[in-house]
Structure formats: structure tokens, C-alpha cells
Amino acid sequence: MHSSDQAISNVGGSVQRFFDTAFSGVEINGPELNPPEIQKSPLMLVSTHRSHTDYFLVGHYFFRKGFRGLRFAAGDNLTNLPYLGPRFKNWGAFPVSRDTGFERNYVRNLCKSVKSMLQGGQAVILFPEGGRSYSGSMLDIKYGILGASVLLQAENPQSDVYLLPIAVSYEYPPDLPYFKMLLKGKSYRKRTNPAFKRILGNIMYFGADILAYAPAMAAKYTGKKKYGKIYVDYETPVSVREMVDVSANRIENARDDFSSHRASMQKVSDVIQARFINLFRILPVHLVAFILKNGKFTGTDQISSEIPSLLKKLAEVSRNLKQVDTETPESIVKTGIEHLVRTKAVSFKNGRLSIKKQEIIDYFAQSIKL
């Protein structure tokens, strides 16, 4: 047993209560898995990233499925939080610096460290978009830490190094209302700013997450399931060598192993991003927000009339329509509006919509790219 397994097991009941009280439900969808068999080979669980809740969610539910030795790549904005940060480390999190995360030597050393974890039988949970998506769109995959899987595959060309793609879709991410405050704090934290501004930036940056999660943590006392449902869709693990011929793509005379396998790392990143897009579950709130953003519609009948053609376009590009493909346009619009009202993005009176927070409309709409 790895040192983090007991710590995760000890808090399992509390984490489950958090999801039971703060959210309306968690739906996990994917093929049957045999974790002990899969973990005979090195494994990375790679997931989309929309919320800090992802860390609890992926770790907790995949631990319950039987995966062990879990390690989490987590931004230092999370691991440095008072009270929660040290506990995250105890549960297997290792920090990724937000300030130096794109510096060459830092990335290479971090990649080597993760490769050692994989070789030691630990399963690394990675959010390769490099941070939460503040815009709602799928971010480009960063192959820094993900590159550890390619380096390990290069060292063991006849063995499998597995990646398990996961996509998480929220009806209402707890972080969403505070992204604006967080981003302002982030701009103030820049090293070039005066000290007082950096201090204010830290307060806003970390304070945004504290404000976001205080109501969620208090839900067990208030009884308010404020954040709707979460949908987790995953695939069968895929081997790196199935995605790319690492040997054929090796760049000769590169400065180091990391540089010599850049082409393979980029190929793996492209494959994972495509799988993320197809796995990510489209919800009614995404459809309604997309229609509101791209047309001057305020009536439910007008919005409903746009749904069939939008669903057809999404089906043509193999998007995940599991949540909406058996619903009528009217029921999709009704549910989507309810979620937007809950986020205070719109008001709805006498059958007419009025947009109150355009940034939240834009956030949900960005999940749909045609």
C-alpha cells in the first residue's frame, strides 16, 4: 500500500458527504475497468479541468473503483492554501509552480520526477490543460508532465504505458462566479508589480477560491444542494505506443531526451485533446448559452427552434450528446434556463429571458465549438 492510500481511504466518507450535500448528484459513465490488471503497467489518468472540485472528484471516485497509489499534479495555488494545502499533499498531491511552470529546466525536472512515480507503480492524475479553463473552452494540452509518459514509453518500447482519458462536465462549477476576481488577482501577483499590489493580488487570488468553496463546504449544514449535477465520462486506457511511434518520431541530435521526443509528445497531446472534446458531455445549459450568445433570442420558442439544427451539427462531429439526445427541444431549453437562472446569468419572467451576466453565458457557450 502506498502512503497516500490510507489517507485517501480515511477521508473517503467525508469526501462522499461533500458531494452528496453540495451537488445534486455525480454520474460516472464508462466501460468496466480492472484496476489491478491495468496498474501492472504505468498509468496516467488524464482529465479535463474546470474546477478545483476535479481533484476530489477524480481521486475519490477512481480510488473507489480500485486504483491505488494515486498522485495528483496540483497547482501551488491549491497546495499553498491554508489548512487544505497540507492535506492535499498528504493525499498524494505534488505541487506544480504557477510562476515557473513554463521554464525549461523546471518542466524537465518535474517530468523526470513524474516518470519516477510511474516507474514506482504510482498512478498519476494529471490535468494536462495546465490549469482550470476560466473561459469554458477546452484549452490546448500542455505536454510538460504528460511528456513523462512518452519518455517512459521510449525507454520501454515493447511495454505499455497507459493513459486513461476522463472528461468532467458541471451544471454549475462552484468556482465559476469567482473567476473574474481570481483573474484580477492573478494579474496583480506579477513579479513586476509593487509589493503592495502583489499582496493584494495574493488576497484576491487565494480569496476567490476560499469564497467559492465556503458555501460548498457549508452545504451539509444549510442543506442547499447549490451546484447541480456532475457528469464524468471516461474511456478504456490507451497505450502511448498505440497513439504514436515514439522511435520513428525521435529527433536526432537534440539537446536532451525531452527535446528529442517533442514530436511524439505533441502527437500524444493532440490525441488526448481530441478525446477530451469527444468525451466532454454537452448539457442543456451549454446549448441554451450557445444559442443566446450567437443570436438575439429572448423567447423560449425561438430558442427551442434552434436546438434541432444545433444538435445535428454536434452529432456530425461526434460530440457527447448522451444527456440531451433523448430530450425534446422544449425540455432542453427549460432545463438550460433553470441552470442559467441558478447561476444568476439570466432572469426569466413571463416567458422572456434577460441576460444579467454575459461572462457566464460566454463561459457555458464556449463548451460548444463548431
C-alpha cell belonging to residue 109:
525536472
What average pLDDT does range 131-147 have in this prediction? 89
Confidence of residue 11 (pLDDT cuts 50, 70, 90): confident
Number of neighbouring beta carbons within 10 Å of residue 160: 17
Domain(s) labelled CATH 3.40.1130.10 in the chain stretch across 3-169+227-279
The upper half-sphere exposure of residue 186, i.e. CA atoms within 13 Å in the direction of its Cβ, equals 14
Confidence of residue 72 (pLDDT cuts 50, 70, 90): confident
Least trusted range by pLDDT, from 98-107, 274-283, 287-296: 98-107
C-alpha cell belonging to residue 143:
505536454
Strand partners, 232: 28, 168
What is the pTM (predicted TM-score) of this model?
0.91
User: Per-residue DSSP letters for 110-145?
Assistant: HHHHHHHHHHTTPEEEE-TTSS--SSSSPPPPPHHH
**What was the pLDDT predicted at 52?**
87
CA distance 294 to 313: 15
First to last CA, the chain: 46
Under a CB-based contact definition with an 8 Å cutoff, are residues 297 and 351 in contact?
A: no
Burial class (CB in 10 A: 0-12, 13-18, 19+), 84: middle
Question: Is 90 exceeded by the pLDDT of residue 160?
Answer: yes
CATH classification code of 284-365: 1.10.10
Question: Mean pLDDT over all residues of the chain?
Answer: 90
**What was the pLDDT predicted at 224?**
66
Question: Is 60 exceeded by the pLDDT of residue 93?
Answer: yes
Q: Treating both helix axes as pointing N-terminal to C-terminal, what angle do 300-316 and 284-294 enclose, rounded to 10 degrees?
A: 110
**What was the pLDDT predicted at 311?**
97
Domain(s) labelled CATH 1.10.10 in the chain stretch across 284-365
Question: Is 60 exceeded by the pLDDT of residue 101?
Answer: no
229: left (phi > 0), else alpha (psi -120 to 50), else beta? beta
Question: Is 80 exceeded by the pLDDT of residue 97?
Answer: no
Q: Which CATH class is domain 3-169+227-279?
A: alpha beta
| Residue 24: C-alpha distances to residues 168, 292, 333 (Å) | 15, 25, 19
Question: Is 90 exceeded by the pLDDT of residue 245?
Answer: yes
C-alpha cell belonging to residue 330:
422544449
DSSP 26: E
